[in-house]
Amino acid sequence: MAKMTHLMVDLEAMGTNPNAPIVAIGAVFFDPATGDLGPDFYRVVTLKSEFQMGAKPNADTIYWWLTQSDAARRAITEGERLHIVDALSQLTEFVTDYSTESGLNRLQLWGNGASFDPVILRSAYARCNFPEFWKYWNDQDVRTIVALGRVIGFDPKRDHPFAGERHHALADAIHQAQYVSAIWQRLLAPHQDQLSASALHAVYAAGYNHGHLNTADGIAYQNDVESEFEHRALEVIAETGTLRETK
C-alpha cells in the first residue's frame, strides 16, 4: 500500500503569533481521497521550555485558555510533558520513520489555517535549530478547503460529529483530517473518471522513464509516483496485471 503523504497538524499554543509557545502537538497521516487515517502523534510540551527557547506568549490567548473546559486545560498541564526540543525531535522521527524519501519531498502539511499551525511549528524548529521535515510550498490550509465546500453547500466541519475533547491537539487533528477528506471527495467526485485516467498516465510515464515498465520494479515504483490518485492506479493494475497508457 502506498504511504500517505498528507499530514494534519494541530498545535495548542499560548498565542497566535509566529513565535507563540507550543504546549501540545497533535498530528495524523491521512489520505483525503479515501478518508483513511494513518499513524498519529501526540506530545505535550512544557511551557517553561518554550520560554527558555525564546517563545513569546499572547495575553489574550492565555485568558482564552482560562475559559476552556477542565479537560482541555488538564490535557496541557497534567501527565508527561516534554521539553520542546525533545517534542520536535520525536515529531521529526515519527514523520521520517513512516515516510519514504520521495514521500517526504512531497509531504503536504495541513494546518487550520496555513498561517497558524505550519508557521508556528516552523518558528519552533528555527528556535531549536532543527531543520524542518517539510517544504514550505507544501503548506496546506484547512480553512480554504472548508470555504470551497461551503460554496457548493457542503459543510462537514459543522455537521461531522466530534470525537473526544475539543482543543485536544490530536482529537482536533483527527477531526480536521476527517472533514477535509469529506470535502475533498465531494469536490472531486464529478471528475473522478478523468482523474483516474490521469493517474494511470502518471504511473505509465513514471515506469517508462525509469525503465521499469511491466517489471516487478515498476510495480514497486508506483508507491513514489506523484499523484493523489495512486490508489486508483494500483487497483487497475491489480485488475489487469499490467501497466498501460489509458486515454
**102 lies in the same domain as 140:** yes
Contact 185, 89 (CB under 8 A): no
Share of the chain above pLDDT 70, in %: 77
**24 lies in the same domain as 78:** yes
**104 lies in the same domain as 183:** yes
Residue 177 lies in a domain: yes
Q: Across 67-128, where does the E strand assignment appear?
A: 108-111
Q: How far is CA 198 from the centre of its chain?
A: 24
Lookup: cell for 17: 503569533
Residue 247 lies in a domain: no
Report yes or no on whether pTM surpasses 0.85.
no
CATH of the domain at 38: 3.30.420.10
User: What pLDDT is recorded for position 246?
Assistant: 39
∠ CA 19-101-194, nearest 5°, is: 95
Which domain range does residue 78 map to?
A: 6-190
What are phi and psi for residue 43, nearest 5 degrees?
-140, 145
**14 lies in the same domain as 111:** yes
Boundary of a domain, candidates 174, 190, 206: 190
pLDDT digits (tens, 9 = 90+) for 17-33: 999 999 999 999 999 99
CA distance 157 to 217: 41
Q: How far is CA 89 from the centre of its chain?
A: 17
Residue 201 lies in a domain: yes
**217 lies in the same domain as 146:** no
Q: Is 239 exposed, middle or buried (0-12, 13-18, 19+ CB in 10 A)?
A: exposed
